Amino acid sequence: MSRVCEYSGKRPRMGKKIVRRGKAKREGGIGQNVTGITKRKFRPNLQKIRIIDENGTVRRVRVCARYIKAGKFQKAVRGIKTARTA
| CA 15/CA 29 separation, integer angstroms | 28
Asked if the structure places residue 85 within a domain, the reply is no
Q: Is the pLDDT of residue 13 over 70?
A: yes
pTM above 0.85, yes or no: no
Task: Please give the residue range of the domain that contains residue 40.
Answer: 13-75
* pLDDT band at residue 1 using 50, 70 and 90 as cut-offs: low
Q: Are 67 and 8 in contact (CB under 8 A)?
A: yes
Q: What is the pLDDT of residue 56?
A: 86
- Number of domain units in the chain: 1
Q: Residue 5: CB partners within 8 Å, gap ≥ 6?
A: 11, 44, 46, 62, 63, 64, 67
15-67 pLDDT per residue, tens: 999 999 999 999 999 999 999 999 999 999 999 999 998 888 899 999 999 99
Q: Are 61 and 49 in contact (CB under 8 A)?
A: yes
Asked if the structure places residue 68 within a domain, the reply is yes
CATH of the domain at 66: 2.30.170
| CA 37/CA 18 separation, integer angstroms | 5
Asked if the structure places residue 60 within a domain, the reply is yes
